[in-house]
Amino acid sequence: MLDIFVVGGGINGASVARDAVGRGYTVALAEMNDLASGTSSAATKLIHGGLRYLEHYEFRLVHEALAEREVLWASAPHIIWPLRFVLPHHKGLRPAAVLRAGLALYDYMGGRRLLPPTKTLDLTKDEAGKPLKPGYKLAFEYSDCWVNDARFVVLNARDAADRGATIHVRTKVVSARRGDGGWTIELDGEAGKQTVRARMLVNAAGPWVDAVINQSLGKNGGRNVRLVQGSHIVTKKLYEHDRCYFFQNSDGRIFFAIPYEEDFTLIGTTDRDYHGDPKDVAITEEETAYLLNAANEYFAQGVTQDDIVWSYSGVRPLYDDGASAAQEATRDYVLKVEGDAKSGAVINVFGGKLTTSRRLAESVLEKIEEVLGKKGPAWTAKGTLPGGDFGPKSFDAELRKLAMDYPGMNAGLLRRLLRLYGTRARTVLGEAKSEADLGPHFGADLYGAEVDYLVANEWARTAQDVLWRRTKRGLKVSAGDAARLEDYLAARDESRA
Ligand code: FAD
């Protein structure tokens, strides 16, 4: 019998599985679709304290989240890196002195050691003022971090598997029933129907957490999560520098404009209650118009529907704390334990953020220890994620080393691979001397060797998995190349069968 079975391969499930197996528990996880196919690939992708949560007095959350920025950056400097945010000041905002004080608090609470502090910008002189409409004179610039969200999940799952956890993808937990000192869990997925036994269950099903309680566990758990939809648009690059903007819209809501995948700008997010099936969530016309209008309040160059190259939408599974407005519902996580060691215990996970996923896992582990007894100590604060073993601030040095080892490879390709796979880029490239040795080309620098790596090491099954979650090559490859990739993956499957 396993110690722990985790339902859900989003960031919370993957982080719990990784932490638990690293402490010596036996662990398996099931994800009904692809890893990170739920909310965890639909985020704004910030590792941040959440400046605006200060306004909602979420001090515990902000403090924990701020401290996580440097911990997570050090653990995965390939997929997480610092960003500077420019917050232009204008009449509709709080007085400049209040904002300055809020940012000083943000700097102070964050226990910052490596990230640079807040400073004031003169937008009439600074490059950050150039893309904006005339009239913006003063801005504040502060630090947070960026994360490649889908890869954050996959690397947690990879690390869990490297340490001995079993990861089932495209495998649904259909039911889980208590009895004989644990759970009997029915799975249905790519390996057919299976039954497994585990002493504890962790329900990290995100937007489906209530469905798992009410359907798979057969309980009448009611409604605990409030689904809040958030959508983003990706446009052609709106400006040249590498900083982000933090804007406040005329309705008081905030949004970001962020440099994205070199050639694009990411704009989001919206915040609206969602009542449909989470799997069907998609950006609405109203949200698109809202984001375009918001961008047009600030950027001098008009942004239109024609500039949009992609959009995505997800639902935040927030703990329902009864807040009236969607944007006011708590972003903090809540854990609820039910049952005990004798009868089989379950921990239901509500809410959370990418930023606090590692700390959420530690809190889950504290509860697991109460039921199953303690094994190893907490370890993830100092652990690195696969490929991230080169330290913060060393990305450029690591890239130079990679370029020396692969002098025949295109510099842009090496940079991209290092950003995705870190030191494991060497496993992707193997003995290849130039692109010609990397197998079939699917456009936009995506070669067979990378696809093979993703299938062998990162549970990629379909072109969608490769193009939109493991990489974002979907933004650049043609429909024909995507179809060839699908054929290539299908042929690999057949030759395996
Ligand atoms: P999910 O990622 O949805 O994972 C749950 C998984 O469970 C799914 O993959 C699902 O397929 C699986 N599952 C469900 N039922 C079953 C079953 N029966 N059997 C097997 N598998 C099952 N956080 C930040 O820190 N920074 C941000 O900038 C940020 N921006 C955001 C912007 C938006 C618009 C949204 C929506 C969220 C944002 N977040 C951000 C929050 C963050 O993305 C979420 O808190 C986090 O991804 C939730 O992860 P999860 O693992 O709980 O859920």
**Chain-wide mean pLDDT for the chain?**
94
H/E element, 175: strand 171-179
Give the helix ranges, DSSP H, for 133-187.
149-162
Measured between alpha carbons, how far is 233 from 142 in angstroms, rounded to an integer?
Answer: 24
Lookup result for tokens 């995100």: 206
Reported as a single tens digit per residue, the pLDDT across 162-207 is: 999 999 999 999 999 998 889 999 999 999 999 999 999 999 999 9
Cα(283) to centroid of ligand 1, in Å?
17
In this model, does residue 497 exceed pLDDT 70?
A: no
Average pLDDT over residues 37-55: 90
pLDDT in tens, 289-324: 999 999 999 999 999 999 999 999 999 999 987 777
> What is the share, in percent, of the chain residues with pLDDT greater than 90?
83
pLDDT at 25 (0 to 100)? 98
Q: pLDDT-derived band of residue 208, with 50, 70 and 90 as boundaries?
A: very high
Condensed to tens digits (0 to 9), the pLDDT of residues 129-138 reads 999 999 999 9
Distance (Å) from CA 10 to ligand 1 centroid: 5
Q: Which protein residue has the closest C-alpha to ligand 1 atom 53? A: 206
pLDDT in tens, 403-449: 999 999 999 999 999 999 999 999 999 999 999 999 999 999 999 99
* pLDDT given at position 306: 97
The Å distance, Cα 139 to ligand 1 centre, comes to 33
Residue 329 has pLDDT above 80, yes or no: no
456 C-alpha to center of ligand 1: Å? 24
Question: Quick one: which of 450, 387, 437, 428 has its CA closest to 408?
Answer: 437
Instruction: Label residue 54 by pLDDT band (50, 70, 90).
Output: confident
Distance 46 CA to ligand 1 centre (A): 14
Which residue, 40, 37, 18, 30, is CA-closest to 466? 37
pLDDT per residue as tens digits for the range 99-125: 898 899 888 888 888 999 999 999 999
Cα-to-centroid distance, 496 and ligand 1 (Å): 32
Ligand 1 nearest-atom number relative to CA 40: 47
N-term to C-term CA, the chain: 30
Ligand 1, atom nearest to 33 Cα:
11
How far, in Å, CA of 443 to CA of 478, rounded?
Answer: 7
pLDDT tens-digit profile of 3-34? 999 999 999 999 999 999 999 999 999 999 99
The whole-number pLDDT of residue 58 equals 80
More confident residue, 372 or 249: 372
Stronger pLDDT, 378 or 249, i.e. the higher one:
378
Give me the half-sphere count of Cα atoms (radius 13 Å) on the Cβ side of residue 230: 25
Q: Which range has the worst mean pLDDT, 134-138, 214-218, 468-472?
A: 214-218
For residue 135, the CA-to-ligand 1 centroid distance in Å is 39
Q: State the distance from the centre of ligand 1 to the C-alpha of 65, rounded, in angstroms.
A: 17
Pocket test for ligand 1, best of 40, 71, 357 (most atoms within 8 A of CB): 40
Q: Quote the pTM value.
A: 0.97
Q: Which domains does the chain have, with CATH numbers?
A: 2-39+150-224+331-372 (3.50.50.60), 83-94+106-145+226-323 (3.30.9.10), 395-496 (1.10.8.870)
Give the residue with greater pLDDT, 217 vs 448. Answer: 448
Ligand 1 cavity residues, CB under 6 Å? 7-13, 30-33, 37-40, 42-46, 172-173, 204-208, 212, 216, 230, 269, 314-317, 352-355
Catalogue the E-assigned strands of 261-394: 264-268, 272-273, 308-319, 334-338, 345-350
- Determine the atom of ligand 1 nearest the C-alpha atom of 351: 45
Query: In this model, does residue 53 exceed pLDDT 80?
Result: no
Task: Identify which of 19, 335, 354, 363 to mutate to test ligand 1's pocket (most ligand atoms within 8 A of the CB).
Answer: 354
65-74: average pLDDT = 95
CA distance 37 to 154: 11
Nearest-atom number in ligand 1 for the CA of 231 is: 34
pLDDT for 74 beyond 70? yes
Nearest CA to ligand 1 atom 14: 205
User: Ligand 1 centroid vs 33 CA: distance in angstroms?
Assistant: 13
pLDDT at residue 496 tops 70: no
CB 111 within 8 A of CB 66: yes
pLDDT digits (tens, 9 = 90+) for 235-276: 999 999 999 999 988 778 899 999 999 999 999 999 999 999
